[in-house]
A and B are shown apart, each in its own frame.
Chain A
C-alpha cells in the first residue's frame, strides 16, 4: 500500500524565516510527487515533481525530489503571514487513478 509521511506535523515561525517541509514516501512504480497548499478549504496546486535533482521554483517557494532516497522537500524563504496554511504532499503511483496524500504540515507564520 502506498504511503506518504510528512514532517513536521506543525511549526510556528516569524515573518522572514525560512521553512523546510519534508515528505517521504513509499509507492509502487512512482510516477509523480505533488505539493498542495490548503489555506481554508480547497487545496491549491503548487508543484509536480517527476525527476530527481531538478528544483522547481515559484517565487519564494521551491521544491526538489530525491527518487533514490524517496523524499521531497518544500522550502519557503522570507515567509509571510499569507504563507500560513497546511501543506500537503501527495504521490501518484502505478495505478494512476489516485493520489495518496500525507497528513500535511501546518505552518503558522507570525508577524
Chain B
C-alpha cells in the first residue's frame, strides 16, 4: 500500500464513451500527477497539480481533461479517445512540487483499453 488509491483498476471503453479515472492520496501531500505508461515507452508525465492548481500540462490532447477539486483527489476525464490511448495511467503524489519533489508515491494504476 503506497497511500495512493486509483479506481477503476481496469477500464474498457469505446471511442465515443466518456469516462473518468479517479485518484485519491492519503499522505497529506500537496502535489499530484498523472503519468501515462504505454508498452515499450518510458513513463510520460501528463499533468501536475500543486495545491489544486495545474502547474504543468505536457502537451496532452484535449480529449484528456484533468480535475483536482482538492489536494487529496485527482481525476482524469476521458472523452472520444483513440485506440492509441490504451495504456496504464498512473497517478502519483509528492510532498511538494519543485525542490524535494523527486520521491513520488504511485498508485496501482488504471489499465485503459480503448476499442
Interface residues of A (CB under 8 A from B): 4, 31-32, 34, 36, 40-45, 48, 88, 90, 92, 96-104
Contacts and interface: CB of A to CB of B under 8 A. Distances in A.
B76 to A, nearest CB: 16
Interface size class of B (residues with CB under 8 A): 20 to 34
B42 A96 contact: no
- Chain A contact surface mostly: strand
Interface string B74-115: 000000000000001010000001110111111111010000
Contacts of A34: 102-103
A44 B103 CA distance: 9
Contacts of A43: 43, 90, 104, 106
B107 A42 contact: yes
Contact of A4 (B42, B58, B104): B42
